Amino acid sequence: MQQQTSSTDVWFITGAARGIGFSLARQLLARGDIVVATSRNQSVLRQALGHDNPQLLTLEVDLINEESVQNAIHEAIATFGRINYVVNNAGYGQQGTIEALTDSELRHNFDVNVFAPLHVLRYVLPHMRAQQSGHIFNVSSIVGFQGGYAGWGSYVASKFALAGLTETLAAELAELNIRATVVYPGPVRTGFLSKDTLVVAQRTIADYTEAQASLDLHLNGLDGKQAGHPDKVASLILAAADADEPPVHLFAGKIANSLAEQKMQAVNHDLECWREASDATDY
């Protein structure tokens, strides 16, 4: 495809066929921005967003394959000349207790939720560094900030990793005029908890009753009833992208805000209770 040039912003979005990524892509196209939308399945992506829009490039990408990601970034740059915004949105939930999860289950969850965004960053940041501008959005979860949920250790850990990575990115990229924001959505009605999407560990251990109760609640009680609206979360991301001083930490939804406040209060309580003993560990 021949390279196009204009002042319109170019967005590179992973996991754009559904959920927050789909809502964001649709809103961007409606306001005239350019979208490079990726998914594991080209036909599903085109069915969701279309394929005859000159402002849209749909790409089938295997995010855990570094060469596939590299090729996608190359095609985006070759087509539109630049990438202004990246939204690392693709990911999935892995349920299962730490003891029960296999090494392969854990590693695949981290491959998709952590190492795939790192693939994207490695190949997009040289272009952003050259243009001395850009904004990275890494979509974590409120469980990447407040992680006290039995049976969700793999997912929680992967989202904490993505949040910590974003904090470091913000520090590294500031001098290059590149921004980084971690997004912490609360429960959003995206199909994330459906039996077709949520991955459950092959092994269960009966002693972990809290983990099983949490799984039953999420699959049978919360799927399709989450408070968060994907279109409104997408609009929040757009507002942060347009802000003169965008946040490093962006919480989405009343539940996310409430849980974040609870976490900060709990940490502050532990800090104050143990401050004297903690201070005494210095030379």
Helix (H) or strand (E) holding 86: strand 85-88
Alpha helices in the chain (DSSP H): 19-30, 42-49, 66-80, 103-110, 116-131, 153-173, 209-216, 230-242, 254-273, 275-279
Active-site residue, selected from the candidate residues 23, 39, 140, 158: 140
Q: Do 97 and 153 contact (CB within 8 A), yes or no?
A: yes
Tokens linked to 249: 């930490």
Is 232 in the active site?
Answer: no
Spell 146-167 as b/e; 16+ CB within 10 A means b.
Answer: bbeeebbbbbbbbbbbbbebbe
* Residue of 85, 123, 155, 184 with catalytic role: 155
Question: Angle at which helices 153-173 and 116-131 pack, to 10 degrees?
Answer: 10
CB under 8 Å to 212, separation ≥6 — which residues?
Answer: 151, 204, 206
Query: DSSP secondary structure string, 184-219?
Result: EE-SBSSSTTSTTT-EE-S---TT-HHHHHHHHIII
Residue 275 DSSP one-character state = H
- Is 263 one of the annotated active-site residues of the chain? no
Has 254 been annotated as catalytic? no
**Which tokens hold the place of 115?**
């190492």
| Torsions phi, psi for 87 (to 5 deg) | -125, 105
Q: How far apart are CA 218 and CA 214, in angstroms?
A: 6
CA atoms within 13 A on the CB side of 100: 20
267: helix, coil or strand? helix
Active site residues: 140, 155, 159
